[in-house]
Structure 1
Amino acid sequence: MPTGRRTAEREPGAWPRRIARLLLGAFLVFAGVAHLTLARQEFRAQVPPWMPLDTDLVVVVSGVVEIALGLALWLWRGPLIGWVVAGFFVAVFPGNLWQWLEGRDAFGLDTDRARFIRLFFQPVLIAWALWCTGAWRSWRATREHRP
C-alpha cells in the first residue's frame, strides 16, 4: 500500500486543499510585499496607537512575516503551518478591529459599514488556513482517538 505523499495526494479533496493552500500563500506573499512597498501608508493606518512599538516597524515586521508564511505555505504542508498562519490572522485582528472602531480609512474602506464587514473576513482567513493545511482534520483525528 502506498504511503506518504502519494497517499495524501489521492485523498478525497486533496487537490482543492492544495490549490487553496497555494492561493493563500500567494495572497500572503502579495500582502507582505505590499506592506513593504506600495501600501505601506495604508497598513500604517491599521496599527493601533497603544502598540508599544514604532508603527513603521510593526508594518515592516508584519510584512516580512506574511512573506515568510506565504512561502511556507508553498514549500511545506501539514497542520503545523496551518496553525501558525491561523495564529497570525488572530494576532493581526486587533488592528482590523481598531481600524473599524477609530474610523481609520485605508484600502478603500472609507465607511464604518465597509470596515465592519471586513472584520468578518478574518475568521474566513483563519478557517481557510486550517482547512487547506489539514490542521482541522488532524485536530479532529487526534480528538477522536483519545480514550
Structure 2
Amino acid sequence: MDEQTIKKGARILLGANLIFAGIGHLTFARKEFRAQVPNWVPLAKDDTVLYSGFAEIALGAALVFAPKKHEDTIGKAAAGFFAAVFPGNIAQYTHHRDGFGLDTDNKRLARLFFQPVLMLWAIKSTEKSK
C-alpha cells in the first residue's frame, strides 16, 4: 500500500469519527460531553455541546469530502479544533467528572495524552506530499 492510500484512509477514518462524535454531541452522548465543558465557558453547557457537535460534523465532512487542494487547510483546522477543545479534557480531569467510561483520575489523565495524537493525525493525514 502506498503512502497516499494510507493517508487517504487515515483522513477518511478521522473524518468519519468526527462525524460520529458530532452526532453523539447532538443525540445519544450529550450528557457525557457536558462533563467535558469547563465551568469558565460563558455558554450553557448544553449549548456548548451542541455547537461543538455541529463543528465536529462540519470538520469531519470536510475531511471526508473536500477537494484535495483544501485538505492541508482542513487538516490544520481540525488540529486547531482538537487544541481548542483540550481544555475540556483538562476540566474533566481536574474536576473529577465521569464520562465515556473515564471514571477514575488515571483514566482521565491517560485521555489527556490522546489529544496530541489526534492533532498529529489530522495534520499528517492531510499534509501535502513532498
Alignment TM class, shorter chain as reference: over 0.9
Map of 1:58 onto structure 2:
48
Map of 1:23 onto structure 2:
13
Q: Report the residue type matching 1:114 in the other structure.
A: K
Q: Report the residue type matching 1:133 in the other structure.
A: T
1:110-141 residue CA offsets vs partner (Å, 9 max, x unmatched): 00000000001000000000000016x6xxx6
Tell which has more relative contact order, 1 or 2 (C-alpha 8 A, sep 6+): 2
TM-score (norm 2): 0.93
Please tell me the root mean square deviation across aligned C-alpha atoms, in Å. Answer: 1.1
* Pair 1:122 & 2:115 matched: yes
| Partner Cα distance (1:48, 1:73) in 2 | 27
Query: Which runs of 5 or more structure 1 residues have no equivalent in the other structure?
Result: 1-11, 142-147
1:20-76 residue CA offsets vs partner (Å, 9 max, x unmatched): 000000000000000000000000111111111111110000000000000000111
Matches within 5 A, 1:70-109: 70-76=60-66, 77=68, 78-109=71-102
Map of 1:111 onto structure 2:
104
| Partner Cα distance (2:16, 2:61) in 1 | 8
- Structure 1 segments, 4+ long, off by >4 Å, are none
TM-score (norm 1): 0.83
Percentage of matched positions with identical amino acids: 55
Find the structure with the greater CA-based Rg: 1
* Aligned pairs, number: 126
SS of the aligned residue for 1:103 comes to coil
| Partner Cα distance (1:26, 1:82) in 2 | 14
| Partner Cα distance (1:81, 1:92) in 2 | 17
| Partner Cα distance (2:47, 2:78) in 1 | 20
| Partner Cα distance (1:79, 1:49) in 2 | 33
| Partner Cα distance (2:61, 2:41) in 1 | 27
